[in-house]
Amino acid sequence: MAGSTLNNLEPHERIIVALDNIVAIDPRSNQIDRDITASRIDSLVAQLKEKVGYFKIGLELFTAIGPTAIEIVKRHSGEFFLDLKFHDIPNTVGQATWVAASYGATFIDVHTLAGMDAMHSAVVNKAKAKLLGITILTSQSEDWCRRQFKCSVKEKVCSLALEAASAGLDGIVCAPTDVAQLRADPKLADLLIVTPGIRPAGSERHDQRRITTPAAAIQAGADYLVIGRPITADPIHDRSGDGGTVLAMIGMSNPRAFHPFVVTISIILSIGRS
């Protein structure tokens, strides 16, 4: 097994729950219902805060209700990953990183493709936050990468990870299928590796292309697993305005609808580390 940099973590502490696909839509106006969205987030965070390590606040949720999402997580003493994927000119990336750090984020991310200067600017402004570099998104295919960069996904991810390390970032975000090769490179030994694209065997891929199971990601050497829809299901398609729908979907308020992934995740991760 490739070595994680955080072998002392409890299994559940490796889980970052993505608070995605939870935005409520008012069926009458077809507009975002901020109050119901906030209520859904509050209920989910309250019931998961002792079962997972962190919560991810991404573009969709932050665009919908802004810093309210952060306030909700902090109200429950939760730690969070502010996943806004900064990709702009160096000054803008640096200032945005400073603002994100001021919210108290544990993790902040920037696109490595923004370049070395942008990454340096983010490093200078990250304060105590862990700064992660986005490599190649899990939705991007091998064919796309070869067209864009004239090399394989694995080659490009490795190149971007080396740039992230050189710029002073704390870690990178990559597909779980890319982890093993990164762990084999001694120059990347100290980088945190955070992996989205985590799916239980047999579950839907949705828009993710390069995915694997939780156990396989940990065996490859991932430090943290970002898990969204397998835990939170897909309540964005529910337009009834029922704030309890998401909890029912993950089996916390409706035992009959219980999703076994929530119960077995720590066991799976433990097996993956053995």
Domain CATH for 56: 3.20.20.70
For residue 271, pLDDT over 50 is answered with no
Least confident of 75-79, 143-147, 263-267: 263-267
For residue 235, pLDDT over 50 is answered with no
Do the domain assignments include residue 3?
no
Do the domain assignments include residue 221?
yes
CB 82 within 8 A of CB 96: no
Do the domain assignments include residue 71?
yes
How would residue 215 be classed by pLDDT, with cut points 50, 70 and 90?
Answer: confident
How would residue 159 be classed by pLDDT, with cut points 50, 70 and 90?
Answer: very high
Q: How many domains does the chain have?
A: 1
Q: State which residues form the domain around 72.
A: 11-273
pTM over 0.95: no
Catalytic residue among 49, 85, 126, 187: 85
Do the domain assignments include residue 1?
no
Structure tokens at 163: 């740039």
Helices 142-149 and 153-167: crossing angle in degrees, nearest 10, is 60
| Selection from 40, 171, 189 nearest residue 106 by Cα | 171
For residue 177, pLDDT over 70 is answered with yes
Reply yes or no on whether 85 is catalytic: yes
What is the residue whose two structure tokens read 């897909």?
234
Bridge partners of 108, per DSSP, are 82, 131
Do the domain assignments include residue 60?
yes
